[in-house]
Amino acid sequence: MREQPPPDRLIDRTVALGLLILLLFSTPIMIWWTSPGSPWYLPYLIWLAVICFIAWINQRHHEP
């Protein structure tokens, strides 16, 4: 049976992830990906990067 991480670590990761998403979607980066010259799929790529980052963190945490 795998050990569960302390609740404080889970909260820290959640807060860090929330701050990363806030940084991506409320800073000049948002102006860059919403500019008229950017490709239509750029917001989807940014979301894909966020999802892949979450999966990578979870996989790294659950490896024996």
Residue 1 lies in a domain: no
Q: Model-level pTM?
A: 0.58
CA dihedral 14, 9, 6, 61 (to 10 degrees): 90
CA dihedral 50, 15, 24, 61 (to 10 degrees): -20
Range(s) of the domain holding residue 33 = 7-62
Residue 2 lies in a domain: no
pLDDT category at 61 given cuts 50, 70, 90 is low
Residue 32 lies in a domain: yes
According to the 3-state scheme, what is the secondary structure of the chain? CCCCCCHHHHHHHHHHHHHHHHHHHCCHHHHHHCCCCCCCCHHHHHHHHHHHHHHHHHHHHHCC
| pLDDT at res. 9 | 64
**What is the total count of domains within the chain?**
1
| pLDDT at res. 56 | 82
Quick: pLDDT tens for 4-52.
Answer: 666 666 667 777 788 877 877 777 777 777 788 888 888 888 889 888 8
